[in-house]
Structure 1
Amino acid sequence: MRKTLLAVAAFSTALLVGCGNSESVTVTISNPLDMERTGEMVEVPVDDIYEQLNLADTAQFVIYDEKAQEVPYQLTYDDKVVFPVSIASNASVNYTIQQGTPGIVNTVVYGRYYPERLDDIAWENDRAAYRAYGPALQRSGEKAYGYDVFTKNTEDLVVEDRYAMELDSMAWVQINALRDAGKKEAADSLVRTISYHVDHGNGMDCYAVGPTLGGGTSALMPDSTIVYPYCYKDYEILDNGPLRFTVKLVFNPLVVKNDSNVIETRIIQLDKGSQLNKTTVTYDYLTQTTPVAAGLVLHAANPKGYTYDASAGYIAYADPTTEPHSDNGVVYVGAVFPEAVQTRVQLFNKPVGDALGHVLGVCDYEAGNEFVYYWGSGWSKYGFSKADDWNKYLKDYAQKVRNPLTVSIQK
């Protein structure tokens, strides 16, 4: 099927009336919760739309809300139509779909592979940005197992520019020349002007991962011992905006008790407006039920800054950043679980650098199944003024994934 990125603009009622001769289908979306849900992404099988409208799979269509405004949407790799909806508590809302040419929307979710930076995969939406480390980093010997977090305080896409600044070859020629000439202070000053570890007005990389699970990575835990996945081996970007980014990561074989060839695969998905990445994890060639955890690293500058609530379905941590006494704010990290988990703190036998251990959400993984959870971050300089704000966001998010919107489609 054709995978075209489609979306949006504001279309008038007159335009909708002008298209009134076309057949249409109605998508009814219901919210079972006693909370308003704004900008939440829903999925509809695209084949259902084509079938109901009797369209060829090369035809285009338009989605309208109840105010006759055009709604942005995207066709995804797995043959879904995804679009944002807003619904009051305990309410339903109708969206109309009919044949037509959609408007164009600016891409607000984007990611790519960065071979120029040790094979990073980095991606972002209008709320946050993330990174997974790749094979070149592993070959370097650096130990970095978990997801990294880039803070941001703008809806604009910023990661591409950050990498371009950080890796500016002409600037590095000057920096190295200054160092060779013994002018360390001048070299360091120039580094600060290009580094993504410095906030140039839209956020920065001020989160420490190291040999930990970082900002929400999953790992098997036989006998309560974390089997750390290293950097990904292979990748495939499946969706790349405008509303959803999806990447598939496959990892090198792991030894897990009696199984010596366990292959981990992750499907990571980030939607417009969400602080959290939906992640689906599978382990091929794992023959026995094994605990699996998602974890957040705890740092020495805030050893008690974690929260966990198994019944509410989330874990959280207020990370003090790589320079706790600077003006970098607080990086809030968290994970949300659709299914029941056990939650706890597990400390290292001795600190690893300034890392003390993890706050974990743990459940049993059965061979052949999927482990689905959500992980991500917020920043004290972009919508989360205190830890209570972040914890409420996670608690509400868990309610939403445990009580999904219901979708029906009919002519």
Structure 2
Amino acid sequence: MKNYVNLMFKCLLVFFSFSIVANAQKTAEISIKNNLNFDRNEVVSISGKQLSNLLKGKKEKELRIKNGGTSEYVVLQWIDYNQDGIQDELLFQAEVSANAKVNYQVVFDGTIPLTESTITTYSRFVPERTDDYAWENDKVAFRTYGPDAQKRVEQKRPDGTLSSGIDLWFKRTDKSIINKWYAENVKKPGYYHIDHGEGYDPYHVGASRGTGGTGIWEDNKLVVSKNFVSYKTIAVGPLRTVFELTYAPWSSYQVKETKRISLDLGSNFSKFEISIDANKSLLNFAIGISLHDNKGEVKINKKEGWFRHAETIDGVFLGEGIVINSKLVRDAFANVSKEKDQSNLLVIGKSKNNKLTYYAGFAWQKSGQVIHEADWDTLLQKQAKLLAKPLRITIKRN
């Protein structure tokens, strides 16, 4: 009997010791509230004061986040925006049902393996195709063009591109395609213009705005910059890629423009954060979508802040769109021109403190994300609602 009591005592001691250690690990709880009437699965960020409080006295490399409703740990990504060696933001992907709240547990335990993802976001400078900059996630891919591509046009050399428009790459796989498509294109020029089962690039940009390119609307004409002159890759990770492009001063305003572009996992929309500096007041900064041969359909919704073009390319539906805070919209219209690449859907935005933020993206029918215009309109409406009502994040330390 005595041995049985001693054994029970030891078991209880181990149990309570384990409970104390486990509870000590749970240093904080992150509560995420969804105030919209549809489910959300999106990347959330913790930055600034919230991040400082969370890390106080702890090591960031030991931080783990567990879904409170399960025993699963989520994928994390840290971002150092100014690249000073100090992390500025912590990202993870949250799933929250309509009009619901979910809790995530924060623990500091470096022995717990970091959760890895088989899909990712990605971006890089591409010197093997003159000097593109390309970016992608599991749903969409984009690219734009650098100074060497511009010089080739100006010097009448081959493989040049003179454009500050945003090109679209249609993909129908959640795997990364940038490195593969460019590598194959080096071996066989034109490779990525043919669909080999993962998608292809049939989209024409030229001097148009592509989807999300900028300009200045003045005297019934769109003035645009040339190619970007420099780039800086800030983050490449499982949840978000971030980079910056700078442009030489352009137009009579001598606009100095920097685009910080980011793309989150699971999103059809790149986020554009534009910083501008001009020698006089700039009231007519424009964001555009190419209308190509003017056979597509335009829809303008100033009230909700979304604007779209629907067309078919090679007989397959494509929807392109811009989403912006409706309070930042001065005007929006379709500028139809007989001049090649000059037809664009234009949104005239109001910059605030010389900055303007908007989202631009697309969906291609063969990706399985949309079938027709109504599906694309629904995605645009949802994106506008996500912008208007972001997830509410509350952190409570234990």
**Alignment correspondent of 1:203:** 199
**Alignment correspondent of 1:379:** 364
Query: Unaligned 5+ residue runs, structure 2?
Result: 1-17, 82-87, 154-160
Q: Is residue 242 of structure 1 aligned with residue 245 of structure 2?
A: no
Q: TM-score, normalised to structure 1's length? A: 0.82
More divergent stretch after superposition (200-209 vs 357-366): 357-366
Give the 3-state SS of the residue equivalent to 1:196 in structure 2: helix
Q: 1:80 corresponds to which letter in structure 2?
A: E
How far 1:56 moved relative to its partner?
A: 4.2
Q: TM-score, normalised to structure 2's length? A: 0.85
**Alignment correspondent of 1:178:** none
Q: Is residue 159 of structure 1 aligned with residue 178 of structure 2?
A: yes
How far 1:21 moved relative to its partner?
A: 2.8
Q: 1:70 corresponds to which letter in structure 2?
A: Y
**Alignment correspondent of 1:334:** 321
Q: 1:36 and 1:143 mapped to 2: Cα distance? A: 42
Give the 3-state SS of the residue equivalent to 2:326 in structure 1: coil
How many residues are matched? 360
How far 1:166 moved relative to its partner?
A: 0.5
Q: Which residue, 42, 55, 58 being the options, matches 2:57? A: 55
Conserved 8 A contact 2:62-2:108: yes
TM-superposition CA deviations, 1:28-58 (whole Å, max 9, x none): 1112222221x21111117634533533455
**Alignment correspondent of 2:28:** 25
Q: 2:335 and 2:132 mapped to 1: Cα distance? A: 28
**Alignment correspondent of 2:102:** 93
Q: What pairs up with 1:254-403 in 2 under 5 angstroms?
A: 254-256=250-252, 259=253, 261-300=254-293, 303-321=295-313, 324=314, 329-340=316-327, 341=329, 342-348=331-337, 350-352=338-340, 355=341, 357-365=343-351, 368-382=353-367, 383-403=369-389
**Alignment correspondent of 1:186:** none
Conserved 8 A contact 1:314-1:361: no
Q: Which residue, 45, 64, 67 being the options, matches 2:66? A: 64
| Structure ID, larger Rg | 2
More divergent stretch after superposition (398-407 vs 272-281): 398-407
Q: What pairs up with 1:207-222 in 2 under 5 angstroms?
A: 207-222=203-218
**Alignment correspondent of 1:45:** 47
**Alignment correspondent of 1:232:** 228
TM-superposition CA deviations, 1:48-100 (whole Å, max 9, x none): 34533533455421011122321112111231111111112222221111102
Q: 1:399 and 1:70 mapped to 2: Cα distance? A: 28
How far 1:117 moved relative to its partner?
A: 0.6
Q: 1:288 and 1:333 mapped to 2: Cα distance? A: 30
Give the 3-state SS of the residue equivalent to 2:395 in structure 1: strand
When the two chains are superposed, the root-mean-square deviation of aligned CA atoms in Å is 2.2
Q: 2:307 corresponds to which letter in structure 1?
A: I
**Alignment correspondent of 1:135:** 147
Q: 1:289 and 1:50 mapped to 2: Cα distance? A: 37
TM-superposition CA deviations, 1:4-27 (whole Å, max 9, x none): xxxxxxxxxxx9997433241111
Query: Unaligned 5+ residue runs, structure 1?
Result: 1-14, 172-190
